[in-house]
Amino acid sequence: MHSFCKGSKGRSSGFDEIDSGRTLSRACVDAQNNLISIEQSLFTNIGAFLPALPSLQQLRYLIALSEESHFGRAAEKCFITQSTLSASLRDLEGTLDATLVERDRRHVAFTPIGDAVVQRGRELVAQANDLVELCASARNPLTGGFRLGVIPTIAPFVLLDSLARLRAQYPKLRLVLREDLTAVCVERLIASQLDAALIALPFELPSALETTALFDDEFLFVTADDKLGGASAPLPIEKIDADALLLLEDGHCLRDHALAACGIRQPSADRNIAATSLITLIHMVQSGLGNTLLPELAIAGGVLSGTSLYTRRFTPRGPARTIALAYRKTSARKQEIAELGKVFARSKGFTGAARARTVRKARVGAV
């Protein structure tokens, strides 16, 4: 009996050790489960504190409404229904906890914070597009679409030769051209509606853009007056009569470039004569209404062909505008833009010798 009890006691001690082990193991599992639960709760709580973000699609819809100032037209532009557009913008306002648009049956008005969101939204959408283009251009540079803006006082004298070169060197490049005033090209660059723009400097650009200068384009004096234009010697800039000067109308940067480059004051306001295009300007000079200043690029491109106008260089030589490519600082296509710039710079119209020969022949029948 004694030995049995002793054995039973020892056996009982062994079971106690097994039970203790099981208890410890169960405690470890419970602790691990508790840690997992704590981690899940932690991440859930962190997510609850992270702000909700607007989608790029919502920002695109808001930008479209800003551009169209009409829900129906904005919806058509985005290829969605008006109800979908309205619902998406309400969701956007809920996400941002701000009223962006004041609505009624007849009018759409953006609040101050709405205008600010549109401006920042354009930048964000442009950067997202640049991200996509970064990958696309890395795979196949200068292939597919490239949207290029060109101002009217450059386009007719550059594109013919440049496009032929581009087709030969980059046959898979599909260049989409848009001719417009500098201010419009700049707006489209900011909105990521253009990849680059061929413009003339100086021009005050937003900080989001940068430029690559290609060459200087010298200004020449153009007149129908044989006494003033027939001399072979360069014309002193101070001899120009500002009140007899014909220029393009306000909005064309060539007007400001010509005056600034030559240091000439604005013509008198009461002499309200201005042209809407280079062709009109040349016809006005041909008819004897006054004189003008034209860039050498345009003259070399044959803009005076068929006229009897005279051209004279200035002394001291040097008044010029700078032809440049403008693009977004965040653009993923900078290397492609640099290659395009090389093609433009090598075009026939840009070479100094070719320009000089054409300028000398600009006046048909000149003695």
Residue 157 inside a domain? The answer is: no
pLDDT at residue number 232: 75
Model pTM score: 0.63
For residue 26, is it within any domain? no
In a domain, 42, yes or no: no
Q: Are 308 and 224 in contact (CB under 8 A)?
A: yes
Closest CA to 63 of 47, 74, 49, 76: 74
| Run of H or E including 36 | helix 2-49
Across 26-35, 163-172, 239-248, least confident range: 26-35
Cis peptide bond upstream of 316, omega within 30? yes
DSSP tag of 294: E
In a domain, 193, yes or no: no
Please, which residues have CB within 8 angstroms of residue 356's CB and are 6 or more apart in sequence? none
What's the mean per-residue pLDDT of the chain?
Answer: 78
pLDDT digits (tens, 9 = 90+) for 151-171: 988 988 888 778 888 888 888
Task: Give the number of domains in the chain.
Answer: 2
Share of the chain above pLDDT 90, in %: 16
**Does a structural domain hold residue 342?**
no
Distance CA 74, CA 354 (A): 49
CATH number at residue 100: 1.10.10.10
Least confident of 9-13, 31-35, 129-133: 9-13
Answer whether residue 206 is part of any domain: no
Range of the domain at 238: 217-320+350-360
